[in-house]
Structure 1
């Protein structure tokens, strides 16, 4: 009924207009800022968690490759051992004029085995190092995941605080946010 410049507001219309035209104040404004900060920090923590998990998988893959290469070397070592044994047997069974040849072959296989054994052990050590790096990355990933989860719970608590208008829940949101940031710091410093 405002055709002639006269307009009647409902009891709550004025308050709604006032709220929409002014910056958020009080608990709602504080929780909006807290939630935005927690969500931003949580997104960064989530990214770091994903990156460390990907690194852990990559390192575990490298460990498996080195383990396979070591296994190949140990198989090669076994083949040389078999040839050495056959040459030693040949030296015992061969006629006298061929025994020196078989002894020489047995010695050659023995010396080749030493180099192969050294390489196989080095590859096993590399595999172990990659495994250790993978485990360290997974530990760090778990810290990032814990931090992200706690921040998500803090954001949910902020929503509950806003709906119930309970100030103590706002303080709980801040406390959980602090715990999440502390867990993120532990991940950052590899603790």
Structure 2
């Protein structure tokens, strides 16, 4: 190219300009579009996989906290049982004039133990519910991971198809990509 407006095109320059002015055609163009779509969907699936894994961890943590709280209640229940047992022993050993005090304590401990037991059982139930939610999230995480893996394989097949220029590899790319999307749909609907 000279400074006076005279411009010479080489064969390579002409092909580059032509490719830039027109939409991509043929195998390379199709694979570029397919790869871009697969990568975008794969990124969304990957995000969802990470989110469900994080949720599973949070639910598992909540389950452990509730289990610990339940354990504390059962320890409290056991302490009340020990006090009740001592009061029962004292009621047998003391004189009649002091026995009523211990009998009242026994009844109080019985009532307190019912409340403590109910609270402990409710906490155990909450813990089990959090464990169940964690397991569901992990199942869904595995589905998202499977979908993401299928899409990554599909992208790799697209690269192989581009290098080998084999149309059947393009079909394999699309097939594995569709499989990945279907597994992602299964993850979305919690299958």
- What TM-score, normalized to structure 2? 0.92
Provide the C-alpha distance between the structure 2 equivalents of 1:6 and 1:91, rounded to a whole number of angstroms: 115
Provide the C-alpha distance between the structure 2 equivalents of 1:32 and 1:6, rounded to a whole number of angstroms: 32
Provide the C-alpha distance between the structure 1 equivalents of 2:7 and 2:126, rounded to a whole number of angstroms: 85
Where does the alignment leave 5 or more consecutive residues of structure 1 unmatched?
none
Provide the C-alpha distance between the structure 2 equivalents of 1:2 and 1:115, rounded to a whole number of angstroms: 96
Pair 97,124 (structure 1): closer, same or farther in 2 beyond 3 Å: same
1:26-51 Cα shifts (integer Å, max 9, x gaps): 00010000001001110111111111
Aligned residues: 190
Question: Which secondary structure does the structure 2 equivalent of 1:156 belong to?
Answer: helix
Where does the alignment leave 5 or more consecutive residues of structure 2 unmatched?
none
Match of 2:94 in 1: 94
- What TM-score, normalized to structure 1? 0.92
C-alpha displacement of 1:22: 3.0
Match of 2:40 in 1: 40
Segment drifting more, 128-137 vs 90-99: 90-99
Give the RMSD, CA atoms, in angstroms: 1.9
Pair 101,25 (structure 1): closer, same or farther in 2 beyond 3 Å: same
Question: Which secondary structure does the structure 1 equivalent of 2:23 belong to?
Answer: coil
C-alpha displacement of 1:3: 10
C-alpha displacement of 1:23: 2.3
